[in-house]
Every structure is written in C-alpha cells, then in structure tokens.
Chains A and B, each alone.
Chain A
C-alpha cells in the first residue's frame, strides 16, 4: 500500500460572493500522478493556490504525511515539500535564468548576514548549468541569460526544472503544457513520468485529456467549486471523462446516436 502524502479535507474558499471552493477533499499518494480536471472557473487554480500558500483557506484541513498542517505562506508550503508551478506567474523576466532557478532559496556565503549575505555566484551558476543539462535544455540556454529573452516554452521548462531541483514531495503543475510546442509538451510529460518513477507525487491540472491518459494514474473532476468524480485511469475512458467535466452525459448521447 502506497503511503499517503497529502490529504485535503473539506476545503472551502470564497472570494466575496463567489464560492470558488465548496467542501473539496482529496488525497494524493506517494509516487502517484493525479490529474485535476474541470472547466474554466471550476476552482482548480483556487484549490492548488490554497495548498501552496498563496492565500489562506476559509475552512477545512490539510494533512501532509498524515500530520495536520496549516499553510500560511508560500514559504511554509515549500518547506513542507510542496512545489507549485502556477498557471499565470512563475518567473521574474528581468532576472537571469540562474537567479530565477534559485529565487527564494539562494546559495549564499556568510549565512549569518541573513538577507544581506552575499550570493555564492559560482555555485549559483554551476548548479544552474547542471540543472539545465539534466532537463536537456542546456545546449540552447545560457544560465546567465535574462528570462525576458526566452520563449514561452523555454520559460515553462525553466519553471519546471526549478521544481525538480528541490526534490519536492509534491509537485503541482497548473496547465504546464499551455502555449507549448510539440517537443516541449513531450518534455513536460516525460518530466511528470520521471517524477513518478523517482517517487514524487504529482498533481497535474490540464485541459488536455489526451495528456491525462498518457501520464495520470487517477483523475479527479471539479465542477463549480466541488469535486464531482474520482476515477482511476485504467477504469475509465475519454468520453466518460469529458461528460464528467461538462456535466452532460455525452456517452449516453453517443449511444443514442448509434
């Protein structure tokens, strides 16, 4: 039996009158890839922002490895081993690749100087180059290049390699293949599989159901702030999942058409 890594119980979150999350519960096990699906505005990003400490939840409990935790900041989420690649924001364009890769966790000398400690620039550069090599994009990219000079796909690859380096227990990807070319998309999917093999848990948000069937073990579907279905990939098919997302019974329609 695989160990449980993350458990959410009855999470609730409202923005004014909008109830973005109503009683959302789910569990994530070790070495498991779970796809979180749902239409635009279903509450997927809200759910993962709550786990990654972007904003506090109104009600509900979060357990990491069976222990109840409260995640009040992004720093606390990272310290608990939860790394998130957000849909909208991930990199600072005016900083170099290397500085982005280590943002918030900079290698420094003279640690006792706190925020005034000098960056260990040599280590920063070497670690960044090694990481880029590992992700397989070192040929094209220089660790000192500014992120503002990169393409959307290259930026996504950088954000993903950043999540890799800290060997997080839980990696959350919010629509990581958006705006990516064919090759980069395969890079991301390969990365997800690698992470699973290495024993990490991945929570993947995507609108591309084909990708789900390629990499995920389990599917969780959200609709209007609620989790409406949960299935293992082996026990379901594309049409069923699509109908679960939209709420319309597509497979019944198809049967009638035949």
Chain B
C-alpha cells in the first residue's frame, strides 16, 4: 500500500474527482474521448522511457524523433511518390538507427545519456526543420490500411476512441510482462540497480541498454506516426518538449530517475495524471499561460510525496 504507484493512483483518483466536481464537462463522453485520443501518444513513449530509466539511462531525443519520423515518411510519400508501406519501413529504420547511435555512444564510449541524447535532440530536430525548411507539410488525408491500423477510430456508445488506445493497452501489457515477469526484466532492473554486479553475473548490460535505446526511439516514432495520421498532417516542430513531459509521467508514477526501480503501472497512472491535469486545468478556467505553473507544482508535489514515502519505508 505504501508503494509509489499506489499513492500516485490515489492522487489520480482525487484529481479526477476534484476536476469532475469543478466542471461537469470534465467527465463528459466528449472530454473523456478527447483525453483518450491524446493519452496513447505520450503514453507509448513513456513505456519505453520507463524501461530505459529502470536500466539507468534516459533519452531526451524522443520528442524530436516524434517530429522527424512522420516528416520523413510524409515527404517520401508526398514528394517522392514512395508507397506508404515502404515509407513507413524507412521511418522505422531511421528510428532504429537513431536509437542504436544513442545506445552505442552511451555504452561503448561511455558518455552520459543526458549529453548524448541532448545532442541527438538537436541533430534530429534540426534535421526535421532543415528538410522541411521549417514549414509543416501539406495535409495528407488518404485513408488506407496503415492509417486505420494506427489512427482509425470507432465509437462505443457516446465515446469515440482511436485504435491507438489498443496499441497503448497492448504495449502496456507487454511492458508489464517484460519488466515484472520476464528474464529480461530481471536484467533491466539489475543493470539499473548495480551495473557492475549485473555484468559480473554475465548479464550483457551494454546490449540490453542499446536495445532499450532502440525500443524507445521506435516507440517515439510510432507515437509520432499515430499523431500525424490522426491529424492528417506532419509538422517539423511536433513533439517539442515531449521528452520532459514523458520523463515527468514516468517519475510521477514512481520509477526512480537513478535506475533500478521501475513500474509500468505507475507510468500508466502518471500518463493519465498528466493528461488529466493538462485537460482539467484548462476546463476549470486557469488562464492558458499560467497552466505550466500548475503542472510544475503538481509534479513537484508528487515527487516530494514519493521521496517522503520512501524515507518512511527505509526507516520502518
């Protein structure tokens, strides 16, 4: 009951109730549908980031990859006349390459992931701006298999959901399985907890980290595609600032920034919480320009709470 994901969950419920009472529209089908449309896009990245943070590394380039992947795919389709399937494959390979470069530099050259992925953020964002000359691409609205697969929508009663929600649920289940029940999850936690100890037991720490960087990058690209298909457009500045929002979701959920302790359930709660805060704050009438203040304060309060809980647990 003292676990960080549980206290985050309690606070999420409190927030939902408070927003629900403050504004009756908050829990309306339309608003819930809206929140659920945005949730998977950051949530999917947060799943990869949770695994990476648990292994003791993090990735600041995810927001930029979120922007670049759809820009490249759409450019190939619109300007070069490439088939959408082939273009998506090219986007996937690009994400794999970015993640692999991050991972190899961090593990083999030994530069901190903060610096490596910060540089990668600039490179990737710069590339997106350069190849588009800074302009959003023409809107692209051709339904097809891939669009339906990533951003199709369906109605359940008064609710309108996107297929991206299934992706998020499926990937969440997979991530929970890997981290808690699979051999790989044991390795990920051990690497983040004490890398040398893991290596001394024959755990291939560098390879695991490189694959996690690749996974995180691919998930960021996937989220970018989902978003671009949903709004039928790709912009070179899409995803700006998402890296911090995603890291906030992960740590608010109770995953330790220092590695070793990660919780996917906590991350899902964290993703829901940040989504609800961003949405609810606007609805209850906080001026748009002031709302980052509230978001920041709430995140800080959550982190203080986790820290206090942990101190208590250590003492008892």
Q: Which residues of A contact B (CB under 8 A)?
A: 52, 54, 73-75, 78, 84, 86, 88-95, 99-100, 103-106, 108, 113, 115-119, 121
Could you tell me which B residues sit within 8 Å of A by CB distance?
177-178, 181-184, 186-187, 189-190, 192-194, 196-204, 256, 260-261
**A163 CB to nearest chain B CB (Å):** 11
Residues of B within 8 A of A95 (CB): 186, 189-190, 193, 260
A257 to B102, CA, bound (A): 66
Contact between B181 and A118, CB atoms less than 8 A apart: yes
Q: List 19 A-B contacts (CB under 8 A).
A: A73-B202, A74-B201, A78-B201, A90-B200, A92-B189, A92-B193, A92-B194, A94-B193, A94-B256, A94-B260, A95-B189, A95-B260, A103-B190, A103-B198, A104-B198, A104-B202, A117-B182, A118-B177, A118-B183
Chief secondary structure at chain A's binding surface: loop
A24 to B71: give the CA distance in the assembly, Å.
59
Residues of A within 8 A of B178 (CB): 116
Number of A-B contacts (CB under 8 A): 86
Q: Which residues of B contact A92 (CB under 8 A)?
A: 189-190, 193-194, 197-198, 260
Q: Are A103 and B260 in contact (CB under 8 A)?
A: no
10 closest Cβ contacts across the A-B interface? Answer: A104-B201, A75-B202, A94-B260, A92-B193, A89-B196, A94-B193, A92-B190, A115-B184, A104-B202, A92-B194
With beta carbons under 8 angstroms apart, the residue of B181, B182, B197, B204 that contacts A103 is B197
Residue in B closest to A85 when the chains form the complex, CB atoms: B200
Docked Cα-Cα span, A62 to B197, in Å, equals 24
Taking the closest CB of chain A, its distance from the CB of B114, in whole angstroms, is 21
Min Cβ gap B183→A in Å is 5
Shortest Cβ distance from residue A158 to the other chain B in the assembled complex, whole angstroms: 11
A118 to B202, CA, bound (A): 19
| B102 shortest CB reach to chain A, Å | 20
